[in-house]
């Protein structure tokens, strides 16, 4: 998917993209590839692959569950790495208020430079483990939407993300193909953490065999205070 095909595909889904936004994605690609020479941000550096597997993949929630992304919504992106999915979402929806949580300072330095380069406002960068941030009263249950992409399985991911979602808000997980098995295994964790499965939608990225799933969990009640547990515990002893 080259930049022109990216724009055309967005238009097919009634997602407007201006010349300025198109330029921002081009700048994003350039800075990503340049920084990646010194900092391990991604194994994908080919332009067509970045536009398909990073940029377009990141905005699939705007196609599948667009109604969640209301104007001015506060979004927390857990383990964003090189900014996926939050920065592509921010470029297309500039009014979103983005908080990015990542444990690696080098990645956050890249995201700080990127936000400045692209002229993005309302992007807060938080250096820390998701387990620690989820117990911080500045962030706990403060977001309408919490996103995560390629971070962990749904059981672990739910403990990272649901404590950050406000009651009535949503946890949106961008997963690979056939997420149903993960969902089956995570039902107990989702319930314990105050969530309820809203939807799980499968899709294929354009002109490819790249299958994806968008899983949406609604926060229906407050997360018990003991969650998230201390750093490392969700992976070592997942909620069963």
pLDDT at 225 over 90: yes
84 is in an annotated binding site: yes
* pLDDT number for residue 181: 84
* pLDDT number for residue 213: 94
pLDDT at 30 over 90: yes
pLDDT, tens digit (0-9, with 9 covering 90-100), for 31-41: 999 999 999 99
Q: Which whole number is the average pLDDT over 77-83?
A: 93
79 is in an annotated binding site: yes
What is d(CA 66, CA 14) in angstroms, rounded to the nearest whole number? 11
pLDDT, tens digit (0-9, with 9 covering 90-100), for 172-221: 999 998 788 888 999 999 999 999 999 999 999 999 999 999 999 999 99
3-class DSSP string for 59-122: HHHHHHCHHHCCCCCEEEEECCCCCCCHHHHHHHCCCCEEEEEECCHHHHHHHHHHHHHHCCCC
pLDDT at 5 over 90: yes
Provide the pLDDT confidence category of residue 80 given band limits of 50, 70 and 90. Answer: confident
* pLDDT number for residue 88: 98
For 76, 124, 160, the CA distances from 186, given in Å and listed in that order, are: 21, 30, 13
pLDDT at 155 over 90: yes
130 is in an annotated binding site: yes
Q: Which domains does the chain have, with CATH numbers?
A: 3-223 (3.40.50.150)
Lowest mean pLDDT among 61-70, 129-138, 175-184, 197-206: 175-184
149 is in an annotated binding site: yes
């Amino acid at each position: 998917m080259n930049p022109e095909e990216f724009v055309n595909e967005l238009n097919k889904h009634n997602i407007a993209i201006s010349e300025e936004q198109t330029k921002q994605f081009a700048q994003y690609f350039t800075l990503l590839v340049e920084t990646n020479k010194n900092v391990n941000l991604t194994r994908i550096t080919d332009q067509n692959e970045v536009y398909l597997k990073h940029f377009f993949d990141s905005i699939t929630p705007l196609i599948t569950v667009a109604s969640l992304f209301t104007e001015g919504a506060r979004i927390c992106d857990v383990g964003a790495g090189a900014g996926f999915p939050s920065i592509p979402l921010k470029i297309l929806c500039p009014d979103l208020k983005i908080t990015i949580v990542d444990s690696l300072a080098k990645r956050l330095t890249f995201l700080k430079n990127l936000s400045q380069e692209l002229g993005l406002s309302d992007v807060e960068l938080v250096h820390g483990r998701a387990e620690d941030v989820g117990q911080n009263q500045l962030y706990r249950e403060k977001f309408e939407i919490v996103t995560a992409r390629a971070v962990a399985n749904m059981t672990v991911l739910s403990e990272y993300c649901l404590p950050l979602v406000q009651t009535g808000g949503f946890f949106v997980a961008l997963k690979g193909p056939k997420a149903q098995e993960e969902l089956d295994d995570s039902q107990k964790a989702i319930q314990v953490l105050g969530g309820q499965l809203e939807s799980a939608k499968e899709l294929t990225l354009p002109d490819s065999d790249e299958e994806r799933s968008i899983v949406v969990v609604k926060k229906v009640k407050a997360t018990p205070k003991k969650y998230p547990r201390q750093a490392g515990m969700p992976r070592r002893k997942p909620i069963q």
